[in-house]
Amino acid sequence: MFGHIDYKNPPELCPVRDVMSVASDQWSALIILWLGYFPVLRFNKLKKFVYGISNKVLSQRLKVLEADGYIQRKAFAEVPIRVEYSLTDFGQSYVEKLLELAEWMQTNSPKVLANREKYGLL
Partner DNA sequence: TCATTCGGTTACTTTTTGTAACTTACTCTA
Partner DNA sequence: TAGAGTAAGTTACAAAAAGTAACCGAATGA
Pairing of strands 71-76, 41-42: unpaired
Beta strands in the chain (DSSP E): 41-42, 71-76, 82-87
Residue 28 burial (10 A CB sphere; 0-12, 13-18, 19+) = buried
Q: Report the alpha-carbon distance of residue 84 to residue 113 in Å, rounded.
A: 37
- Picked from DNA, a second copy, none, the partner binding residue 98 (CB below 5 to 8 A depending on kind) is a second copy
Choices 30-38, 78-86, 90-98, 103-111 (CB under 7 A): range interacting with DNA: 78-86
Whether residue 92 contacts residue 36, with contact meaning beta carbons closer than 8 Å, is answered with: yes
- Picked from DNA, a second copy, none, the partner binding residue 83 (CB below 5 to 8 A depending on kind) is DNA
Q: Please give the residue ranges that form the binding site for DNA (CB under 7 A).
A: 25, 27, 42-45, 52-57, 59-60, 62, 73, 75, 79-84
Q: Please give the residue ranges that form the binding site for a second copy (CB under 8 A).
A: 1-3, 7-11, 14-26, 29-30, 33-34, 37, 48-49, 51-52, 66-69, 90, 93-94, 97-98, 100-102, 104-106, 108-113, 115-116, 119-120
